[in-house]
Amino acid sequence: MNASNPANGASPLSGHAAVEPTPVVAFQNVSISFDGPPVLDDVSFTVGPAETRILLGPAGVGKSVLLKLTNGLLRPDRGSIRLFGEEISHMSEQALFPLRVRTGIVFQEGALFDSLSVRDNVAYQLIQQNVPDDVIDSRVHEALHFVELDQTFSLFPGSLSGGMRRRVAIARALIREPELVLYDSPTGGLDPITSTTIIELVMKQRDFYRTPSILVTHRLQDAFTLCTHRFDSELGHMVPLPKGHADPNTTFLMLEEGRLIFDGSLHDIVHTDNKFVREFLL
Amino acid sequence: MAIDTIEKTAKQIVLTVQDYSLFAHRAVMNLFRPPRYWVDFLMQCDIIGVGSTAIVLLSGFFTGGVLALQSASTLSAFGASNLTGRFVGLTMIRELGPVLTGVMVSGRNASSMASELGSMIVTEQIDAMRALGVDPMRKLVTPRLFACVTMLLFLTILADFFGILGGAFVTVFMNHQDGLQYFSTAWESLRYPDIVQGLVKPLFSGFIIASIGCFYGMRTTGGTEGVGRSTIQAVVFSSVLIIVADFLLTQILLSLLSRL
């Protein structure tokens, strides 16, 4: 996790995200249902290199399902999903593992292994790959330092607070420097201060490593903070972008009853005529 | 309406049997392909084998004792109380040792496997494992399956041994009969087919306990209530299947071994 200086060029609010030729993730007409009406219906979108897509929508609208489809934890009934350029909709579980290793995911409640220490949780992939213990310890310390939880190295998840668990989950997702990060409501159920800490970490990952990501949230405040701030590596915290500017690579998706009803920039979402989006923003 | 319900239930049963067959097949085949998790296998051997030793020894010892108590009074009516050792030895080795051990271990371990894996499902730990590039079938199910099969064999031998000891205790200290006679009749009546029968059954029981426990754990839905439901299903189905399998195996082994 050696940080290089980020390029944090903010664009005017009206600017659209640049369309990249080879998307990291591409959904095309994806539908899925579980013994009932479709949870996702004909969903199409892409995530370009260095792009952060914020997936908005009320609870139970299919946001987490979409995230699990992205790295093949669920299979669509119809449509095509491409991850790192490879079609994964019909890929076998074994063939998916190498692609998943390139992807980091932060689950809604952290999903830490409660019988393992924080060290073993964060290093889970490295342990499976028989990496030497001293290398593991050093990498874990580095990852925990990134999420500012150095002191939790030997603790067990049961003794951590909800916010700390999410941060450990972020460290676990980032330890192998993934090429795509999926955040499933990383701030859900947390107090505002802890939520801000988590969003700052997401921003740090976006601005330091320029890792493409999909962030699921129903907290508008988090979404707008990500768009209107950047991480200042010298100050060590996030700072607001000049007034009227937004991060050009951070854009929005919005789901309503399984359908993608919005795909656009911060400017687009605040000026949209879509009634549902406007109600959601209020 | 009733026919619809019957049809739906029948389809559900067929689907469950199909899912279970595929699940068990995958769990077994994983042993022949890397990666193999030997550390997890040894840990499970400790949990299932060492952890179940006390209950298996106690239940074996007292079952042997009860057999001696019950048989002594019946046999003495025919003037054959000296055959208590033979009765207890054969019953423990051929039937009660394997079945009793299977049911005891099922109550302890099928439930723990179902609840452990079920909890991991509802807290997304299994999804996290898959997302981190580790196959939960290889990491969690296959080690449990082979540890359970291996350990059940040894636990059954222990249960047989302690059952015969329990019978000896009752024969010597409560029925005031000759201990040497008890052991010699028990030993002399034993044939290789009896031992084969007693050692084949735990292999199947071990397979049933772990595969059913893991199967219901891995298909848990419905939060913590679902974990409870999976645990009950795992214990009930594995216990019943052990007894059904015991009946079928006895029939098959008796016909096969009688030809030897």
Q: One digit per residue, pLDDT tens: chain B, 260 residues?
A: 678 889 989 999 999 999 999 999 999 999 888 888 999 999 999 999 999 999 999 999 999 999 999 888 888 878 777 888 899 999 999 999 999 999 999 999 999 999 999 999 999 999 999 999 999 999 999 999 999 999 999 999 999 999 999 999 999 998 888 888 889 988 988 888 899 999 999 999 999 999 999 999 999 998 889 999 999 999 999 999 999 999 999 999 988 887 66
- The reported pLDDT for the residue numbered B1 is 65
Same domain, A97 and A189: yes
Q: In terms of residue numbers, what domain contains A220?
A: 21-102+182-282
Q: Which two tokens stand for residue A260?
A: 């993608």
Q: Which residue has the tokens 């055959």?
A: B83
Please tell me which residue of chain A has the smallest CA distance to B138: A94
Domain boundary among A121, A144, A177: A177
- Going by pLDDT thresholds of 50, 70 and 90, the confidence category of residue A21 is low
- Going by pLDDT thresholds of 50, 70 and 90, the confidence category of residue A9 is very low
Domain boundary among A122, A146, A177: A177
Please tell me which residue of chain B has the smallest CA distance to A128: B134
Same domain, A97 and A197: yes
Please tell me which residue of chain B has the smallest CA distance to A95: B133
Same domain, A67 and A192: yes
Question: Residue B190 in 3-state DSSP?
Answer: coil
**How far apart are the CA of B207 and the nearest CA of chain A, in angstroms?**
24
Same domain, A161 and A260: no
- Going by pLDDT thresholds of 50, 70 and 90, the confidence category of residue A5 is very low
* Chain A CB contacts of B130 below 8 Å: 73, 93, 100
Same domain, A31 and A159: no
- If you average pLDDT over every residue of chain A, what do you get? 87
Q: What is the CATH number of the domain that holds A80?
A: 3.40.50.300
Nearest to A128 among B123, B124, B134 (CB): B134
Q: Which two tokens stand for residue A230?
A: 């950047």
CA angle A52, A55, A57 (to 5 degrees): 160
Same domain, A186 and A68: yes
How many Cβ contacts (< 8 angstroms) between chains A and B? 50
Same domain, A154 and A204: no
Q: What are the pLDDT digits (tens) for A108-139?
A: 888 999 999 999 999 999 998 889 999 999 99
Domain boundary among A177, A205, A228: A177
Q: Is position A4 within any domain?
A: no
* Chain B CB contacts of A130 below 8 Å: none
Q: Is position A7 within any domain?
A: no
Same domain, A276 and A191: yes
Is B131 in contact with A109 (Cβ distance < 8 A)?
no
Is B134 in contact with A73 (Cβ distance < 8 A)?
no
- The reported pLDDT for the residue numbered A187 is 87
On whether any CB of chain B is under 8 Å from the CB of A73, the answer is yes
Q: Is position A6 within any domain?
A: no
- The reported pLDDT for the residue numbered B259 is 67
Same domain, A207 and A275: yes
- The reported pLDDT for the residue numbered A282 is 75
Q: Among residues of chain A, what percentage have pLDDT more than 90? A: 56
Domains identified in chain A, total number? 2
Q: What are the pLDDT digits (tens) for A49-98?
A: 989 999 998 888 899 999 999 999 999 999 999 999 999 999 999 899 99
Same domain, A92 and A198: yes
Same domain, A93 and A110: no
Same domain, A37 and A167: no
What's the whole-model pTM score? 0.85
pLDDT at residue A13 greater than cutoff 50: no
